[in-house]
Amino acid sequence: MADQPKPISPLKNLLAGGFGGVCLVFVGHPLDTVKVRLQTQPPSLPGQPPMYSGTFDCFRKTLIREIQASSGETKYTGTLDCAKKLYQEFGIRGIYKGTVLTLMRDVPASGMYFMTYEWLKNIFTPEGKRVSELSAPRILVAGGIAGIFNWAVAIPPDVLKSRFQTAPPGKYPNGFRDVLRELIRDEGVTSLYKGFNAVMIRAFPANAACFLGFEVAMKFLNWAIPNL
């Protein structure tokens, strides 16, 4: 008699997904910081070099700046302090600034992300084997490529989001339309892909780690607490 598929456990998926997210952040966060710095750098003046010449120059300057800032005064002492000050200054809207742009980025990009991952898992599964038996290297490749496809869709709205969230209050009264208009007018269509190299360098290893972390955590939970 063939093995019956195990019922899906929402709690196991929650725990395994959380662990996958930790793996993604642990691997990808440094280049995420570089990405935002590249996306929000102001256009250079005529005859002047840009603030950052590329991904690695941005990484080097960011590292130097953070080391120097560690001994000086900082605007926010941490996440909670930042949230408190944003709320005090701008109210609840300040904390949710950029929500529409985040949805414009994450809805299509996440759809592409999971569609690509599941499609590749099926392709990489040898004949006669189950998807759940996929080897770790193949999971890494499927997750990494899924991450690249995710960010190929997500970069333009992510650039707009970064610009909008870091702009002074009132600079863009019409929201992302003003950001888009300014970017294309001042820096051209290619400005919508600022930080592309940093994103793609980050995308494969970070998302490979995410899905590998999820699959490993799920297998561990199925072994440790099979009836959960």
DSSP assignment string, 10-53: HHHHHHHHHHHHHHHHHHHHHHHHHHHHHHHPPPPPTTS--S-S
**What's the pLDDT score for residue 75?**
77
Between residues 7 and 199, the one the model is more confident about: 199
Total-model pTM: 0.83
Inform me whether the pLDDT recorded for 189 exceeds 80: yes
Inform me whether the pLDDT recorded for 70 exceeds 80: no
Confidence band of 1 (pLDDT split at 50, 70, 90): very low
How long a stretch of residues is the chain? 228
**What's the pLDDT score for residue 5?**
59
Inform me whether the pLDDT recorded for 180 exceeds 80: yes
Kindly report which listed range (41-55, 172-186, 193-207) carries the lowest average pLDDT score: 41-55
Q: Are 148 and 203 in contact (CB under 8 A)?
A: yes
